Structure 1
């Protein structure tokens, strides 16, 4: 079973907004929205930038949009706080239940190896593998993470679980993977017909996985 990490297991919205508040009180949510606007454009650049660069530049642009002066020493605040972004509270119990049911677990993440290594130490369950943007040479919703994982592991049974409809559900559907959408933000999907199972968070995930596998 593969998981997106940030947004699915880690509360990255809280991490970005709280980090922004440290520098610019009252601007956390606005800078989070600005970050989200700029990140996809940076991830589509060529040559492919490292995620640490994406974090810094997207945040710098979000601050500029708001007319906020970002000191050079503060520009990498998101990368600096990244290891401390919180794990969603239900993650430990649900992933432990999947482990007990015999599933192997892996991460497919739009992240750098060095950054996600800190996060893996904080996750309450050990993951068997991780595919980063550095490994796949691409950012989701590109299929690169998925094709890289398939080439390495050749899984006979494979379910993908993620919060992002665009970055994860769309490519998983295109590749014919069983999939569970974790709709934490109560979003309306672009095409609901591509969704096989929907949960508001990870509670009840083992049963949902069995239903699509």
Structure 2
């Protein structure tokens, strides 16, 4: 496997519009509240993942939504707590994803997803990405959520990925850029939200996946030099 070049990706936030999916899910229950409560939800999701690393992602979605509703003083009915898990298969893929992944594969890169979700969820999502994915490492498989290093180490051990033939691509600074830097995995930050944190944590920064192949090639070239 030593000659294979791997590009690993986070899925939700990087390839799939996670923010749109969460906000719309909240709006289904509490019209007009999705945008307002999105960052509250975001904080609770990371909190639940840290507290309960073995919890399935559907459970994390539900518990984070319960806490968000509680903080906002909203009445969340028990059966409505699962709205995010029920709709996640339909969250929109960013428009440039299919073409960008297709171009990357054509340049000789294999694609893997290192995702903080369950295997059934990523299975439903993969079919909508518009390009084949070679392998997936899920939170369900490793028993923890990023930024824990288990996704990265499991992938490295399973596929013999080496730093001169591996680039990680992701949107989340906390979940992906920080652990990838700690592990010295070459990395491209997809800064979709114009996050003002230190960009030097990444080897390259893009606002979306346009120009991805050239950027991944350049980062890999520097890692091999």
**SS of residue in 2 equivalent to 1:49:** coil
Return the alpha-carbon distance in structure 2 between the equivalents of residues 90 and 136 of structure 1. Answer: 29
Contact 1:170 1:194 in 2 (8 A): yes
- The Cα shift of 1:194 comes to 2.1
Compared CA separation, residues 47 and 111, structure 1 to 2 (3 A): closer
Which of the residues 181, 197, 200 maps onto 1:173? Answer: 181
Aligned to 1:185: 193
- The Cα shift of 1:64 comes to 1.1
In the alignment, structure 2 segments of 5+ residues that lack a partner are 1-6, 221-225
Aligned to 2:95: 89
CA deviation profile, 1:153-210 (whole Å, cap 9, x unmatched):
0024110000011111111111111110000000012x43322100000000001101
Contact 1:180 1:195 in 2 (8 A): yes
Return the alpha-carbon distance in structure 2 between the equivalents of residues 202 and 89 of structure 1. Answer: 9
Aligned to 2:216: 209
Compared CA separation, residues 14 and 46, structure 1 to 2 (3 A): closer
* Greater strand share, structure number: 2
Contact 1:31 1:59 in 2 (8 A): no
CA deviation profile, 1:63-85 (whole Å, cap 9, x unmatched):
11111111122110000000000
CA deviation profile, 1:82-128 (whole Å, cap 9, x unmatched):
00000000001111100110100000000011111110111101101
CA deviation profile, 1:133-152 (whole Å, cap 9, x unmatched):
01111110111000000010
Please list every run of at least 4 consecutive aligned residues from structure 1 whose deviation after the TM superposition is greater than 3 angstroms: none
Return the alpha-carbon distance in structure 2 between the equivalents of residues 35 and 193 of structure 1. Answer: 28
Give the CA RMSD over aligned residues.
1.1
Which of the residues 27, 30, 34 maps onto 2:36? Answer: 30
Which of the residues 4, 13, 16 maps onto 1:7? Answer: 13
Q: State how many pairs are aligned.
A: 212
Which of the residues 16, 23, 39 maps onto 1:17? Answer: 23
TM-score (norm 1): 0.97
In the alignment, structure 1 segments of 5+ residues that lack a partner are none
Contact 1:133 1:145 in 2 (8 A): yes
- The Cα shift of 1:32 comes to 1.5
Q: Relative CO higher for 1 or 2, CA cutoff 8 Å, sep ≥ 6? A: 2
Compared CA separation, residues 47 and 192, structure 1 to 2 (3 A): closer
Return the alpha-carbon distance in structure 2 between the equivalents of residues 194 and 17 of structure 1. Answer: 28
**SS of residue in 2 equivalent to 1:105:** strand
Aligned to 1:133: 139
